[in-house]
Amino acid sequence: MPDYFENCKNYDDARAIYWELAKQFHPDKGGKTADFQELQNQFENFKPREEKFKGEADQWKAKEYANIIEQLLKIDSSILIEICGSWIWLSGNTKPHKESIKAIETGESYKRVWHRKKEMWYFSPKNYYRGKGNGTDYSMDWIRGEYGSNTVTGSNRQEENKPAQITH
């Protein structure tokens, strides 16, 4: 098996790779169970070469993040799922899926929130602290520029055995 995370410097890199490969390897999306389990094992054991902030490694809960991704892959493909850093954003017509989104288990280290101004759901680390500032509510364009963005829409999610197409 290849080392899927050998070129990852930090957790954000690992999350992006995991997201791309989970869509290909997940058994519900036509992948093989053994490949998906190997991906999960490598992801859970990933250790970064650099941290964005002191103590990031102590807060990292790969199993919880992977569980959220796995549950999101089962929701209707009309929802846009976007990874920006360690946050997962959901947009599009989420209203019919509100109860499914609210039912997603987040574990001890993640939280699920409806962002009223952006009209989007997000999953973020519970201990995330923006720090002292002016209370700015950053736009999605700013967030994408600062943390990067990987998206999957209904039109490019994995169907049958075709690999998913990712927009960076």
| Residue spans per domain, the chain | 11-128+137-152
| 61-63-69-74 Cα dihedral, nearest 10 degrees | -150
pTM as predicted: 0.65
For residues 99 and 71, is the Cβ–Cβ distance under 8 A?
Answer: no
The closest alpha carbon to 56, from 149, 128, 157, 124, belongs to 128
Q: What are the tens digits of pLDDT across the range 19-58? A: 889 888 988 888 899 999 999 889 888 887 776 666 666 6
Contacts of 9 (CB under 8 A, 6+ apart): 48, 49, 50
Per-residue confidence band for 159, with pLDDT thresholds at 50, 70 and 90: very low
